[in-house]
Chains A and B, each alone.
Chain A
């Protein structure tokens, strides 16, 4: 119930696990993600986003957009040696992006 309610809000909170975005975002850090960011403009290269893992949609990933091609984006971790990203799973449909990381808290 609460989760459904949260899905309607323009912002959501996440806690990060894993090293692939270090040093920009480290394990244990919390971020606020804006769903509204992409209501008025498309995702851009360089944005840090939360998206569904295209191979396992229940899992949420945090990655940086590397390149955009129309309705899909390629994502990469900032820490390339410890990241599974578009190099492994290819371009991701833009509709799998939940929102843009707005700030850490």
Chain B
């Protein structure tokens, strides 16, 4: 566009500003990442490991030992609760805000998988069930793979390099 037109329009803009028009997105950032859900699920698995590994005080244990046991157990349970809920929250956001109807063509099982994750997220809160925690992590990792696939991004599974052990799904 020639300079005269451009500069005239700029002058006009100063006198009367242009209206705002939105190249709109409900979440303008467009940033979604299942990594948070995976870390939350790994934390839940780790809390089960710590609960299983915690030494129970014997019948003759003193008060300090009993208190230390109760304190650790409550802390592990509390973190398990929080991270199971965090995991559900993160998955729900990606499911509701990121996924669009066209993604369902390639991932027709998406709704069922998300539903399963949300159920498992509740189960690991209600119980101490290491197998359910493992299932939750596996389901979240499949969800992460589906998410990246919709963006045309390949994924790889490698060592988590965390105390929990196991694998992490990462964009390749």
Contact = CB atoms under 8 A, between A and B. Distances in A.
Contacts of A88: 26, 100
B53 interface: no
A83 interface: yes
A15 B13 CA distance: 10
B20 interface: yes
B30 interface: yes
Most central of B5, B23, B25, B101 by chain A CB within 10 Å = B23
Contacts of B29: 82
A14 B18 contact: yes
Given A18-B28, A81-B151, A103-B1, A32 B9 contact: yes
Interface residues of A, number: 36
A25 interface: yes
A10 interface: no
A105 interface: yes
Interface size range of chain B in the complex: 20 to 34
Contacts of B6: 105
Interface in A80-96: 81-84, 87-88
B9 A87 contact: no
B21 A77 contact: no
Nearest to B101: A87
* Residue among B6, B13, B25, B102 with the highest chain A CB neighbour number at 10 A: B25
Nearest to B12: A13
B47 to A, nearest CB: 34
B17 to A, nearest CB: 8
Nearest to B18: A13
A80 to B, nearest CB: 8
A25 B30 CA distance: 17
A30 B101 contact: no
Nearest to B28: A18
B23 A83 contact: yes
Contacts of A84: 24-26
A104 interface: yes
B4 to A, nearest CB: 11
Contacts of B23: 16-22, 25, 27, 61-63, 77, 79, 83
A12 B18 CA distance: 8
A6 interface: yes
Nearest to A82: B30
